[in-house]
């Protein structure tokens, strides 16, 4: 019997917090960093030979050291610094992937003024980046997750296929809510990362808000194409949106009129709507989308 081995290894979820304290007014950057190295490490798996293996602890240490040595202007820049380092400085490494989540903080307001060194964790939305560097090039995938967004009208759902098990009523006015997980791939690395991220995020929120939606699928298409239309530096976008259902609650049984005002929020089971949109002339992604943990 013969087998084929595919492998990579790294250090998952190093919680890197960088405090910039060059002045009395401090800054905070709060990250979750996962590294993965690719190359010919088969002997480590087949016979336990570690001679080509850079320890995962070293990868962790590098992530912390680079937070000070290289700085964290943006998570995309920081990820590129790490990935380039592992490929250039570690001979057996032919490719590196760095996945980063950024947790946002805002300054506490004390006595009507922002405090210099006290911060409050912002909402659950998380900015993300995945950087891959290998022999085929450098690839940056930016994005966000857990962006919970809701519109109280301007959404319909009707005309759908029905069978003997269908119970869902049609509606021409409903709450539409989701928790967005969106990732987009850049054509290159000469990008104003913060400006591009902020603009893409704003465009998606605008489309969600202003499009009179006949389905969440339609909304995702318009969100994705709006980003691609306005941002030539972005060549592909993937959107995942669980449908956070809200159902009318029957308060009529209590003699209270209900005009789409009181709802039961049902978190599961939920519809899971997904879309991937790319330019026809998008450059090849190669290994850019292959996750650092598990299968693609």
End-to-end CA distance of the chain: 26
What lies within 8 Å, CB to CB, of 221 at 6+ separation is 275, 277
φ/ψ of residue 49, rounded to 5: -80, 115
Taking phi over 0 as left and psi of -120 to 50 as alpha, with beta for the rest, 77 belongs to: alpha
**Which contacts qualify for 163-172: CB closer than 8 Å, 24 or more apart?**
none
Active site residue 60: no
Active site residue 245: yes
Q: Identify the CA nearest to 262 among candidates 276, 238, 246, 245.
A: 246
Residue 73 near residue 111, CB atoms below 8 Å: no
The catalytic residue among 11, 183, 231, 244 is 11
The catalytic residue among 26, 56, 70, 94 is 56
The catalytic residue among 60, 85, 231, 245 is 245
Torsion of CA 82, 87, 90, 91, to 10 degrees: 180
Residue 234 near residue 180, CB atoms below 8 Å: no
Active site residue 68: no
Cite the active site residues. Answer: 11, 56, 245
């Amino acid at each position: 019997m013969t087998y084929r081995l595919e492998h990579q290894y790294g250090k998952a979820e190093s919680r890197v917090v960088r405090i910039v304290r060059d002045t009395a007014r401090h800054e905070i950057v709060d990250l979750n960093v996962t590294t993965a190295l690719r190359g010919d490490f088969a002997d480590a798996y087949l016979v336990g030979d570690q001679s080509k293996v850079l320890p995962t602890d070293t990868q962790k240490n590098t992530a912390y050291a680079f937070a000070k040595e290289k700085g964290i202007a943006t998570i995309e820049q920081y990820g590129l610094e790490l990935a380039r380092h592992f490929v250039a400085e570690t001979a057996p490494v032919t490719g590196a992937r760095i996945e980063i989540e950024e947790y946002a903080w805002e300054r506490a307001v004390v006595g009507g003024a922002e405090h210099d060194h006290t911060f409050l964790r912002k909402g659950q939305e998380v900015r993300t980046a995945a950087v891959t560097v290998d022999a085929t090039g450098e690839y940056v995938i930016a994005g966000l997750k857990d962006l919970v967004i809701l519109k109280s009208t301007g959404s319909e759902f009707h005309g759908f296929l029905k069978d003997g098990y269908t119970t869902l009523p049609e509606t021409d006015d409903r709450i539409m809510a989701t928790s967005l997980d969106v990732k987009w791939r850049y054509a290159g690395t000469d990008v104003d990362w913060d400006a591009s991220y902020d603009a893409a995020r704003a465009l998606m929120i605008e489309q969600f808000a202003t499009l009179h939606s006949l389905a969440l699928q339609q909304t995702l298409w318009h969100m994705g194409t709006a980003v691609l239309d306005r941002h030539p530096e972005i060549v592909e976008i993937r959107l995942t949106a669980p449908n956070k259902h809200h159902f009318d609650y029957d308060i009529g049984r209590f003699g209270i009129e209900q005009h789409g005002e009181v709802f039961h929020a049902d978190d599961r089971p939920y519809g899971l709507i997904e879309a991937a949109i790319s330019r026809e002339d998008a450059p090849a992604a190669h290994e850019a989308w292959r996750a650092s943990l598990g299968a693609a």
